[in-house]
Chain A
Amino acid sequence: MSRPLLLNPREGMELVGLVKHLNQDKINRFAGVSGGTSLIHLDPDFAEKTRFRYTVAHGILLIAYISEMMKNNFGPPWFTSGDMDVRFVGPAKPGDTLVGRGEILRIETVENRSRVSCSVRIENHRGEKVAEGQTQVSWELRESKGANANK
């Protein structure tokens, strides 16, 4: 595994972001593995009659992007202590370039663990937010959160 990108997290620090180029094939592929086969994701004719007027990506796909960003930044602790609470505030549609961003809000010590709270969001290439929320991740103070932290 690549090492965590944030080796020395500090309050106010920006997370290393992530970019995804969305298209209908990718939405279809995600529907295939997840079983999320609602027509709003897959059928442009159906979607045209909805308030969105076009197909939209699964909210859970956006969750996967945020989770990837947290894993990239914090490494193994995200697998065993990751918390996320994300609201879907706008549609992500085929053709969008999605950018994941985040910032460290707080770093606390709780019961011999270092706990990091972040704000996270995904924006499209027009700067419109499609998802936003909070995440938390923690690790024991005596542990490194590096690549072999779970040994």
Chain B
Amino acid sequence: MPPNKSVDWDSWEVGRELGTSIIVVTKELISSYVQAVEDYDPIYLNPADGKEAGFGGLVAPPSFHAQFTYMKWATGDAGWVPHGSFHVQQKFQFRGIVHEGDHLHTKVVMGEKYEKKGRKYVVYQTTVTNQRGEMVCAGEMINVLAS
């Protein structure tokens, strides 16, 4: 689905899909992420360590799939987060282990919008599923729109 360039308070439609993407999890992507967040747990870097820990091989950090796919859309290409808005709260549910080679399918939809103390809030709802259709992560990004 093409990115939506006109996300704002008035056009916000609860339940409307903003977009989807598929990312193949590679050892290189995991490694880049691990370096960026400085969590050098060997289960993220060495398949043998992941196997020994009972994960069956190389795995990604829980936050990897949650943010990697999400942020790329949110502020990179898609322009979904209006300029000047603030990310004020984030919720995540981690429900599955992500291995090297997995295909992650991410969907973002418009969640609720509400006003509180004169500020306008919008909620981006994200679900990430693997190639078997299993949900591995669900998230809610709550942003305050610029006034």
Contacts A67-B62, A88-B89; A80 near B75 (Cβ below 8 A): no
- Of B10-18, B49-57, B113-121, the segment with at least 4 beta carbons within 8 Å of chain A is B49-57
Number of A-B contacts (CB under 8 A): 132
- CB–CB A36/B53 < 8 A: no
How far apart are B97's CB and chain A's nearest CB, in angstroms? 5
Give how many A residues have a beta carbon under 8 Å from the other chain's beta carbons.
Answer: 40
Q: How far is the CA of A36 from the CA of B29 in the complex (A)?
A: 16
Give how many B residues have a beta carbon under 8 Å from the other chain's beta carbons.
Answer: 45
Binary contact readout B74-88 vs A (1 if CB under 8 angstroms, 0 otherwise): 111100010000111
- CB–CB A59/B87 < 8 A: yes
Q: Which of B41, B89, B93 contacts A71 (CB 8 A)?
A: B41
Q: Is A8 an interface residue (CB 8 A)?
A: no
Q: Which residues of A contact B50 (CB under 8 A)?
A: 1
How far apart are A93's CB and chain B's nearest CB, in angstroms? 15
- CB–CB A67/B87 < 8 A: no
Q: Which of B54, B62, B71 contacts A58 (CB 8 A)?
A: B71
Q: Is B61 an interface residue (CB 8 A)?
A: yes
Q: Which of A33, A84, A87, A149 contacts B33 (CB 8 A)?
A: A33
- CB–CB B89/A64 < 8 A: no
- CB–CB A83/B92 < 8 A: yes
How far apart are A119's CB and chain B's nearest CB, in angstroms? 15
Q: How far is the CA of A84 from the CA of B68 in the complex (A)?
A: 17
Q: Is A47 an interface residue (CB 8 A)?
A: no
Q: Please report which residues of chain A, range 60-103, place their CB below 8 angstroms from some CB of chain B when the two chains form the complex.
A: 60-61, 63-65, 67-68, 71, 76, 78-88
- CB–CB B87/A88 < 8 A: yes
Q: Is A13 an interface residue (CB 8 A)?
A: no
- CB–CB A148/B53 < 8 A: yes
